[in-house]
Amino acid sequence: MCGIAGLVGTSERAVIEHFSDALAHRGPDGQGAYSNGPCTFVHTRLAIIDLQTGDQPFVQRLEDGGEVALIANGEIYNNPELRTHMKSTVFVSQSDCEPPLHLYLKHGLNFVDQLRGMYAVAIWDSRMERLVLARDPFGIKQLYYAFTDNGFAFASEPHALLGKGLVEAKLKPSVRDELLQLQFSTGHDTAFMGIKRLLPGETLVVENGDIVERHIRDALPTGGPKPSSHASALSQLDTVLNDTIGVHQRSDVPYGMFLSGGIDSSVLLAMMSRLNADPVTAFTAGFSGTGVHDEREHARDLVRAEKANHIEVEFGEGDFWSTLPKIAFHMDDPAADYAVLPTWKLAETAKREGIKVVLTGEGGDELFGGYGRYRTYSRWFFAKDMYRKGIMDGLDILKDDDPAQAWRSGMAQAGIEAKTSGRTKLQVAQAQDIATWLPNDLLLKADRMLMAHGVEGRVPFLDHVMAEYAYCLSDKHKVKRGLGKSIVRHWLSTAMPQAKPFSKKRGFTVPVGEWIKNRGAMAGELVANQHSIQAVCCSDAVHAVFKDGSGRAGKAAWTLLFYALWHKIHIEGSSPDGDVFDVLSA
């Protein structure tokens, strides 16, 4: 993976340098730039495929004197197959990101239909002075854009679009309200006024400084379930796992995986062990001396069974207070998911161990019906909306009570759009999460935490071959006897019985409530005194949730702490250097 940025308009050297500096952590292995007419591209490279000749941009000069240039962030897993079908094409590298350029020249905007992978792509076509931006259907890779006084700008991360005459760091209150209630936000808008996201699967065409076309490539197939027997579904799953995990291992650098001990990561370990002659390297995080379940003991049983290399990572209370400001800095598109904490340290450890690529289990719950909320939603005749209650509801924290729940509008719209013909209630719930929670929380968190350390994350469950299979399974293959991911559990019971796949899922928890409560008086005082918090919260209630630290109060305290740090760093311009108390006291 890499970092990409660009500007179509008036470009100054300071802007180009700003792009390169802001995205340097995403591409520690090299930098490239391109200019043609009003267009300037910047690329920072993390070298994964074709280490010697894969530098970007890729530029194709045409017979009519025009040229087309491409920069990309991501991995195109069907690169070998694409090259086989493009025998007459002259390639200048073995990079997986070169074929999309030639596909664009042949198929125009439909080039994305040929791609299997995760990507954020920018193409400049000088013949029409056209900029094309495209994002993969699941939104694994993010891309942001803004209309500025200097022209139309885009980048892999929002903070690259701030300053240098581009966008001023101003808060968008409606997105803040979503963040405080949902822990993430939905739709095109980001927390920064004037900076927008490409949606998952979206392709934008920009000409003369305006967006002239938008297209969406759907992540999920249309229609309802396709009937299949248990034996057939199980056999197909084995084939699909072998294929998707196999192509996600295509790499010219060492790779490993994150092992939580849950169903999805256990499946990855089992299949990777089958596909690799050498032992798999697995990383597991844990929290000693707390009240939450520590997954390392179960993970040890799994790595012993598969003879994998196991690297355990301890994340403690000291890590929490010391690393959170740096984490908030890299979560410039804010998502208050406490899983950012161990993910940060796992990525840091992987980098130190010489691993540049890790496979993770994101998407398994969404595609195979793993969440308890899906079962709740599906069993009601008149299905109750998911996400009906916000994090702050009932705690008397927010000054302005919003009976209309305006913060739910994006989530509610996604629920409406998910209800296409033939889908079951379970499929509707899955589709709603795949359009919102998945790209704007889980995948965003994984991208930022791994790329902060120059490590690429890959998500084999989020692949169109997997989606065609999994999403179209009948409900009984997803949910059975009160357990989600039924067919996956059956596969795992044979592939790696030590995983105990029919045990009730504990869920992944980080003891943020305990840690906050331990220093609740001091932390609560600092958070309550922040201008960003005083604008929306009642101080007494803020103090109360920090002193409590349990259950919903603990989650509310964590969300407020994260938001206060995010606002301090990204809106007020404070340095992330120091611990939580240093930054909030500045």
Q: How far apart are CA 114 and CA 110, in angstroms?
A: 8
Share of the chain above pLDDT 90, in %: 88
Q: Is the per-residue pLDDT at 201 higher than 80?
A: yes
Confidence of residue 491 (pLDDT cuts 50, 70, 90): very high
Tell me if 479 sits within 8 A of 373, measured CB to CB: no
Q: Is the per-residue pLDDT at 125 higher than 60?
A: yes
Tell me if 549 sits within 8 A of 520, measured CB to CB: yes
Confidence of residue 479 (pLDDT cuts 50, 70, 90): very high
Predicted pLDDT at 507: 64
For helices 443-451 and 340-352, the axis angle rounded to 10 degrees is: 40
Q: How far apart are CA 370 and CA 485, in angstroms?
A: 5
How confident is the model over 406-429, as a mean pLDDT? 93
Over the chain, what is the mean pLDDT? 95
Question: What DSSP letter does each residue of 132-175 carry, written as one string?
Answer: EEEE-TT--S--EEEEETTEEEEESSGGGGBSTTSB---B-HHH
Q: How far apart are CA 490 and CA 483, in angstroms?
A: 12
pLDDT digits (tens, 9 = 90+) for 329-386: 999 999 999 999 999 999 999 999 999 999 999 999 999 999 988 888 877 655 567 8
Domains and CATH numbers, the chain: 2-216 (3.60.20.10), 230-394+402-499 (3.40.50.620), 512-585 (no CATH)
Predicted pLDDT at 401: 75
Predicted pLDDT at 400: 84
pTM above 0.75, yes or no: yes
Q: Is the per-residue pLDDT at 436 higher than 90?
A: yes
How confident is the model over 196-221, as a mean pLDDT? 97
CA distances from 556 to 41, 186, 545, 570 (A): 41, 19, 7, 21
Predicted pLDDT at 303: 96
How confident is the model over 509-524, as a mean pLDDT? 93
C-alpha triplet 316, 319, 320: angle, nearest 5°: 90
How confident is the model over 239-249, as a mean pLDDT? 98
How confident is the model over 114-133, as a mean pLDDT? 97
The position carrying tokens 């267009």 is: 39
Predicted pLDDT at 506: 65
CA distances from 64 to 67, 106, 489 (A): 9, 16, 57
Share of the chain above pLDDT 70, in %: 98
Structure tokens at 411: 């989530």
Predicted pLDDT at 187: 97
How confident is the model over 67-77, as a mean pLDDT? 97
Predicted pLDDT at 464: 95
